[in-house]
């Protein structure tokens, strides 16, 4: 079953703008991961943040985690048309090793 | 090799057919997963194999039968499926399934698009 909720469900922006997606979850976690999925394809792991970390960067990606609010955000800077995809957050709980709980996802469209 | 491969890419089958989906990875991962994904929905976990043993079955109907012949291969045998079983079936693998505090970063295959008529 799902664990997280992404917000917004859909986001449409112009190339060069920043895109921010949020994820909330309900229980304590071991880590939180963001995945990207192009239409009808497999998921690609983007970035992972552990429960004792607050912020992480990878290229144009910035992830924050607020465990007190049980929320995370994914920021994509200087977006490109190729960033158009669905983005999912997934949490790993300490008590259920190996089982990821996916949120509903945000569909990002970047217009050239 | 950091790739998970799945065959076939597309499959159309009738409700009386028997077919199999195949998944392969050569990353030395000891955990492998089957997910089902409907359009515009997140992946739903079906099965988890850890060290070639079935460790999680998410109450999946018996018309889906998983098999893990060795640490690199994962099959999903299909029999007497229903039209509502039409979906994208994703295979994934990960390295740190059983280690407490492990990351469980999962590597996904491209999926098999299944249509049941």
- Compute the distance between CA of residue A98 and CA of residue A52 in angstroms, rounded to an integer: 19
Q: Where are the domains of chain A?
A: 5-111
**pLDDT given at position A35:** 96
Instruction: Give the closest of A35, A42, A88 to B109, CB-based.
Output: A42
Chain B residues whose CB is inside 8 A of the A92 CB are 103-104
pLDDT above 90 for A7: no
Among all residues of chain A, which has the CA nearest to that of B94? A98
A interface mutation test: which of B30, B42, B102 has the most A CBs within 10 A? B42
Chain A residues within 8 A (CB-CB) of chain B? 2, 30-31, 33, 35, 40-45, 48, 88, 92, 94, 97-100, 102-105, 107
Residue B72 binned pLDDT confidence (cut-offs 50, 70, 90): very high
Question: What is the three-class DSSP state of B22?
Answer: strand
Among all residues of chain B, which has the CA nearest to that of A42? B110
- Compute the distance between CA of residue A80 and CA of residue A57 in angstroms, rounded to an integer: 18
Neighbours of A73 (CB within 10 A): 17
**pLDDT given at position B18:** 95
Residues in chain A: 112
Is omega for the bond preceding A91 within 30 degrees of 0, making it cis? no
- Interchain contact, B105 vs A48, CB within 8 Å: yes
- Phi, psi of B50, deg, nearest 5: -130, 120
- Interchain contact, A97 vs B94, CB within 8 Å: no
pLDDT above 70 for B94: yes
Pick from B11-20, B61-70, B99-108: least confident: B99-108
- DSSP at B72: T
**pLDDT given at position A99:** 80
- Interchain contact, B111 vs A40, CB within 8 Å: yes
For residues A2 and B79, which has the higher predicted lDDT (pLDDT)?
B79
Residue A93 binned pLDDT confidence (cut-offs 50, 70, 90): confident
**pLDDT given at position A48:** 93
- Compute the distance between CA of residue A55 and CA of residue B11 in angstroms, rounded to an integer: 42
CA distances to A27, A40, A107, B56 from B115, rounded to whole Å, are 36, 13, 24, 25
**Residue among A56, A91, A100, A103 at smallest CA distance from A75:** A56
For residues A103 and B100, which has the higher predicted lDDT (pLDDT)?
A103
Average pLDDT over residues A22-45: 92
Q: Which helix (H) or strand (E) holds B104?
A: none
Instruction: Give the closest of B41, B100, B107 to A97, CB-based.
Output: B100
**pLDDT given at position B38:** 95
- DSSP at A81: G
Residue B99 binned pLDDT confidence (cut-offs 50, 70, 90): low
Average pLDDT over residues B49-56: 90
Which two three-digit tokens encode residue B83? 């039209």
pLDDT above 60 for A32: yes
CATH T-level fold of A5-111: Immunoglobulin-like (2.60.40)
Average pLDDT, chain B: 91
Average pLDDT over residues A3-28: 89
Residue B42 binned pLDDT confidence (cut-offs 50, 70, 90): very high
């Amino acid at each position: 079953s799902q664990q997280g909720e992404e917000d917004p469900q859909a986001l449409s922006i112009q190339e060069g703008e920043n895109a921010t997606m949020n994820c909330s979850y309900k229980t304590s976690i071991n880590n939180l991961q963001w995945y990207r999925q192009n239409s009808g394809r497999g998921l690609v792991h983007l970035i992972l943040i552990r429960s004792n970390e607050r912020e992480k960067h990878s290229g144009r990606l910035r992830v924050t985690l607020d465990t007190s609010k049980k929320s995370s955000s994914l920021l994509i800077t200087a977006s490109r048309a190729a960033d158009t995809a669905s983005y999912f957050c997934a949490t790993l709980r300490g008590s259920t090793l190996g089982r990821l709980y996916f949120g509903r996802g945000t569909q990002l469209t970047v217009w050239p | 090799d950091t790739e998970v491969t799945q065959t076939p890419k597309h499959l159309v089958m009738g409700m009386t057919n028997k077919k199999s989906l195949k998944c392969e990875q050569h990353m030395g991962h000891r955990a492998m997963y089957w997910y089902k994904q409907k359009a515009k929905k997140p992946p739903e976990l079906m099965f988890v194999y850890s060290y070639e043993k079935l460790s999680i079955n998410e109450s999946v109907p018996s018309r889906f039968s998983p098999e893990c012949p060795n640490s690199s291969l994962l099959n999903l045998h299909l029999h007497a499926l229903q039209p509502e079983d039409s979906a994208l079936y994703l295979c994934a693998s990960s390295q740190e399934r059983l280690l407490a505090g492990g990351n469980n970063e999962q590597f996904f295959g491209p999926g098999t698009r299944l249509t049941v008529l």
